[in-house]
Structure 1
Amino acid sequence: MKFSEQLQKQATPIMDAINAHPFVEGLAKGDLPKEALITYVQQDYLFLKKLREVWASALRMSKNDEQIRFFWGIIEVILDAECDAYDTFCEQAGVKMEDMKDAIPSPKAYLYEAHLDQAVLSGNFLYLLAAFAPTPWTYLEFTKHILNSDIDMTNNPYKPVLDFYMNEENYAGPTFKFIDELAETATKEELAEASQLFLKTCELEWQFWEQAYYQEDWKFKDVLEAARKEMA
């Protein structure tokens, strides 16, 4: 069994929970609360800025031309393409994207960003890839789970979003390939740490849907907002 296959097998309980999450089920049924959509777009917009830093670090750590082209392509393409999904969510929520860009990262998004920072600061390319891989993989898996079900998607307003998420195969597949190549020369301890990073990211993906659906936020958000305005 390849190391990437082992990682995915270990993450099965978390992936099952993501598939069953009410936000994901709402995508499948075409029915999501306005507040959940707004929270998701706000937090994901901020989170993509962090991912851009992760991809830039991966570009610097890349070992060959194939990897360089791959991460350069992510930086160049996916950030702009993600706006298509945002537009759909904003349309369904009845809000404008330009009004969504001044949010503060939620506690769970903040934790997610710190988790990725830890992988980057390690300087270990396997760790960084293991921490990044669940981002495209979980999206791809829950999308396939929905589209392969018997749910009628004819009038589902989120069908274009799900079609867009199927493009994550272009990122999950190569990332797992690079992970397997690095795993061939990794120590037992490095593989164990990479496994932990991968699984923690999987849970943080679940937590991301959780905080969006239930609008989980800082207890003293008003204090944070006031201080930001004061220091501006």
Structure 2
Amino acid sequence: MRFFEKLKQACTEDWHAYTHHAFTEGMGDGSLPLPAFKNYLVQDYLFLIEFARAYALAIYKGENLSDMRKALASVQGILDVEMDLHTKLCAQWGLSLEQMEATPEASQTLAYTRYVLDTGMRGNLLELKIALAPCVIGYAEIGARLAASASGLAEDNPYKVWISEYAGEEYQQLAEAAIEELDDLYNRYGSQQGFDRYAQIFANATKLEADFWQMSL
């Protein structure tokens, strides 16, 4: 069993609560209230800024050039590609860059992003990537599941753009690369901490992801 699957298996209920949250189900059938989605978009913009900082920390934590280059590519992808795409998506929903930057971080956003950064600061590269995994890999799982549903990509579903982005081949490949990297890092760092330590980090981050959905509702 792959390391990521072991982490999921160790917190089955929390993982299901996150990936099948009422927020995601509402996107899947199109019933999610629009104000909730707009609130999510703004907080996700603020989250991505801290996410980029976490990957910048991964450059520092990297043991070799390969580690550092992977982290650098992630930072560049967030700042140069994902942020632009997110800003354009927000604009379609009537949200300007100025509005988003003027919005304070919600307590759930603060809790999640600072947990990831604190975990990375105190731990090794594996622990940092475990804290990032529920977001990076979880979104791919959610996107693929919703896209496969009867209403996920229906023309009248206002959230089909979000779903198609995370169900798309490019993001699915990114998530698979993250899973492979976890396997590699576990082979290198696994003996430094017991599995319970890694499972707890993953469970904490998963719960914080669910809180992030709930915040928007």
Q: TM-score of the superposition, structure 1-length normalised?
A: 0.81
Q: Residue in 2 aligned with 1:170?
A: 173
Q: Which runs of 4+ in 1 moved over 6 A?
A: none
Of 198, 204, 207, 1:203 maps to 207
One-letter amino acid matched to 2:110: Y
User: In terms of Rg, which structure is larger?
Assistant: 1
Q: How does 1:207-218 map to 2 (within 5 A)?
A: 207-213=211-217
Instruction: Give the C-alpha shift of residue 121 in structure 1.
Output: 1.5
Q: TM-score of the superposition, structure 2-length normalised?
A: 0.85
* 2:59–2:72 contact (8 Å) kept in structure 1: yes
What are the ranges of 5 or more consecutive residues in structure 2 without an aligned counterpart? none
One-letter amino acid matched to 1:70: K
Deviations 1:210-231 (A, max 9, x none): 0012xxxxxxxxxxxxxxxxxx
What are the ranges of 5 or more consecutive residues in structure 1 without an aligned counterpart? 214-232
Of 186, 193, 201, 1:189 maps to 193
Distance 1:170 1:30, change over 3 A: same
Most deviating of 83-92 and 57-66 = 83-92
Q: Residue in 1 aligned with 2:74?
A: 74
User: How many Å separate the matches in 2 of 1:38 and 1:152?
Assistant: 18
Q: How does 1:43-192 map to 2 (within 5 A)?
A: 43-79=43-79, 80-92=81-93, 94-151=94-151, 153-155=153-155, 156-166=157-167, 167-185=170-188, 186-187=190-191, 189-192=193-196
Q: How does 1:215-230 map to 2 (within 5 A)?
A: none
One-letter amino acid matched to 1:212: S
User: How many Å separate the matches in 2 of 1:208 and 1:152?
Assistant: 21
Most deviating of 203-212 and 121-130 = 121-130
Q: How many residues align?
A: 212
Give the share of equivalent positions with the same residue, in percent.
26
